């Protein structure tokens, strides 16, 4: 499809922004801030967006590291885009050809794995280019650009959705990096991501003296309270019981996963007292909401039993309750046409030289073409869907996990993937995890993804703004699939009935008399 003058203008804007986007991606990569604690990253975006004329609400929906930026060129359709910027604990890696943490930190600090640092910068580049094209060519309408923290725990989008931040949008465009088939340089078609619940079970031992009661009173004993197992034991019982019962919690078909993380452990004293507090987080990724409810019921029973056996009480606190995704072929087709116009990312000789240096450093023979071939090819949505469906039971309608799914119930949403840099592995060998993390921070290797995704986002948004037929087709399909749109007969309302879980002991950077450090004291390589 021929590109409009506005679309061509947007492409030239993105090219002009290339250096700034590259520097921005490097900055967010270096921040390496993790879920619910992305203070510097969010502030960076807010400052930049305000400088570009956006009206920005900081701390949207009660999340200190979220934001909502709006810009209008007069009455008309509003297109939604977004940035993610959370990193992952235990993945601190410099933008380097060798394994090394970022300056002043140890390997257990946060680091970008997906990388969201490039994801967010592609969205920013697109939204600035769209704005410039709308002004230049007098296109009415607006843009909404949200800052979405804590994606790794599917945190912000269910909360933004429940608070109405996606209501009234004509369309939402969702991009994510990926590097292997079938979700590489394509658009999701029918099989969107599934549901997900995440929760924290908190065990509190606030009356240990009552655990050993017999005939109304404990056996006289100095420091008898310490005989209560306490919160640590409750957590361990919960952890072990849930591990052993995992295969019984769900039907034996369909893709699903349950993972856990111990957030607060110990709280012990040296005065013959049991641990008073312990917390464990569970993340449930499943195709359906019913399956998530089933697992939650099992975990609740395990928590109640563990608490009863150890002289504790327990609380369950929600981190995420996220719906499965809703397909929209009309908007997926619009984005696929933009992808065909832009093409797949291409890694030049500078990027290949970086890749070869990594290979040599790992004792591998350097390759003439070190990047995975599929990364520079497009795959049409229907072919990608066929590959994805090949290993799924026919009854499974959703697969894998991401919280963009909550957006799909509030506006027509396209989910597409652009290749991130990844290397071919020699036969019988594998790369350590740091390699992919590093490639996501080295400008020569990550910039092709950022530029390509920004162009596709911009072309897609401008097509929807300029072409009422494309926009209306997407909205009509949205209404058909929801039984009338938001509130329709087939619509699923937000599941979020909890405040933003910002007060838990999420890993973060801290400042002490020793300087700025990760929450686990860093062990430097030369210590």
Beta-strand ranges (E) seen in 325-397 are none
| Distance, CA of 124 to CA of 49 (rounded, Å) | 9
CB-based contact 149:45 (threshold 8 Å) = no
Mean pLDDT value across residues 44-52 = 98
Task: Grade residue 527 by pLDDT with cuts at 50, 70 and 90.
Answer: very low
What pLDDT score does 216 carry? 58
| Distance, CA of 512 to CA of 524 (rounded, Å) | 17
What pLDDT score does 250 carry? 73
DSSP string, 242-288: HHHTGGGSS-SSS--EEEEEEEE-----SSS----EEEEEEEEEESS
CA-closest candidate to residue 258, choices 274, 277, 281, 236: 281
Prediction pTM value: 0.94
> Do 196-323 and 5-192+324-482 have the same topology in CATH?
no
| Distance, CA of 296 to CA of 290 (rounded, Å) | 10
CATH superfamily of 5-192+324-482: Zn peptidases (3.40.630.10)
Report the length, in residues, of the chain.
527
Is residue 521 predicted with pLDDT exceeding 90?
Answer: no
Residue 18: exposed, middle, or buried by beta-carbon count in 10 A (0-12, 13-18, 19+)?
middle
What pLDDT score does 213 carry? 67
Torsion angle (degrees, nearest 10) of CA 454, 456, 462, 463: 180
The residue to which tokens 């300056």 are assigned: 103
What pLDDT score does 414 carry? 98
Residue 386: how many CB atoms within 10 A of its CB? 12
pLDDT tens across 308-329, in order? 999 899 999 999 999 999 999 9
pLDDT tens across 105-121, in order? 999 999 999 999 999 99
| Distance, CA of 249 to CA of 420 (rounded, Å) | 35
Residue 313, CA distances (Å) to 223, 271, 518 in order: 21, 22, 31
Q: Tokens for 145?
A: 């650009």
Average pLDDT, the chain: 93
What pLDDT score does 520 carry? 78
Task: Grade residue 228 by pLDDT with cuts at 50, 70 and 90.
Answer: confident
> How many helices (DSSP H) and strands (DSSP E) are in the chain?
13, 13
- The domains of the chain are located at 5-192+324-482, 196-323
| Distance, CA of 61 to CA of 59 (rounded, Å) | 7
Residues whose CB is less than 8 angstroms from the CB of residue 203 and which lie 6 or more positions away in sequence, other chains included: 231, 234, 235, 238, 277, 278, 279, 303, 306, 307, 310, 312, 313, 314
Determine whether domain 196-323 maps to CATH 1.10.10.10: no
């Amino acid at each position: 499809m021929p590109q409009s003058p506005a679309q061509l203008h947007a492409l030239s804007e993105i090219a002009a922004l290339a250096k700034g986007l590259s520097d921005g991606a490097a900055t967010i990569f270096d921040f390496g801030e993790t879920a619910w604690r992305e203070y510097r990253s969010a502030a960076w975006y807010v400052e930049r967006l305000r400088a570009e004329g956006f009206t920005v609400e900081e701390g949207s929906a009660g999340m200190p590291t979220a934001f909502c930026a709006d810009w209008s060129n007069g009455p008309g359709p509003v297109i939604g885009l977004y940035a993610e910027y959370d990193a992952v604990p235990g993945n601190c890696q410099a933008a380097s050809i060798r394994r090394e943490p970022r300056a002043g930190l140890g390997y257990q600090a946060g680091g970008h794995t997906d990388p969201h640092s490039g994801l967010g910068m592609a969205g920013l580049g697109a939204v600035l280019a769209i704005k410039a094209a709308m002004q230049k060519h007098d296109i009415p309408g607006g843009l909404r650009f949200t800052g979405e923290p804590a994606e790794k725990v599917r945190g912000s989008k269910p909360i933004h959705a429940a608070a109405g931040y996606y209501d009234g949008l004509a369309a939402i465009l969702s991009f994510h990096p990926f590097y292997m088939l079938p979700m590489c340089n394509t658009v999701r078609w029918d099989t969107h991501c599934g549901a997900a619940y995440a929760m924290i079970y908190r065990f509190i031992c606030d009356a240990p003296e009552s655990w050993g009661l017999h005939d109304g009173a404990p056996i006289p004993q100095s420091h008898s309270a310490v005989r209560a197992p306490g919160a640590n034991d409750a957590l361990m019982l919960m952890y072990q019981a849930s591990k052993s019962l995992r295969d019984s919690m769900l039907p034996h078909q369909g893709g699903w996963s349950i993972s856990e993380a111990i957030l607060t452990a110990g709280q012990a004293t040296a005065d013959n007292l049991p641990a008073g507090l312990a917390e464990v987080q569970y993340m449930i990724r499943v195709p359906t909401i019913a399956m998530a409810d089933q697992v939650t019921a099992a975990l609740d029973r395990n928590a109640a039993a563990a608490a009863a056996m150890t002289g504790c009480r327990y609380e369950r606190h929600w981190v995420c309750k996220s719906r499965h995704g809703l397909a929209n072929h009309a908007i997926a087709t619009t984005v696929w046409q933009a992808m065909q116009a832009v093409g797949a990312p291409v890694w030049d000789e500078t990027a290949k030289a970086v890749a070869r240096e990594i290979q040599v450093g790992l004792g591998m023979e350097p390759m003439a073409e070190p990047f995975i071939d599929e990364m520079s090819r497009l795959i049409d949505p229907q072919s990608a869907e066929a590959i994805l469906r090949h290993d799924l039971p026919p009854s499974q309608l959703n697969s894998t996990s991401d919280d963009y799914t909550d957006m799909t119930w509030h506006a027509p949403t396209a989910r597409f993937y652009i290749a991130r840099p990844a290397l071919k592995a020699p036969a019988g060998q594998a790369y350590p995890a740091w390699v992919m993390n590093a490639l996501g921070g080295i400008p020569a290797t990550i910039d092709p993804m950022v530029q390509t995704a920004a162009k596709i986002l911009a072309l897609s948004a401008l097509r929807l703004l300029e072409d009422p037929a494309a926009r209306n087709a997407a909205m009509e399909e949205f209404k058909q699939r929801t039984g009338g749109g938001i509130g329709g007969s087939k619509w699923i309302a937000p599941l979020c009935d909890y405040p933003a879980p910002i007060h838990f002991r999420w890993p973060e950077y801290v400042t002490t008399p020793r300087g700025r450090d990760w929450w686990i004291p860093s062990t430097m390589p030369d210590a």
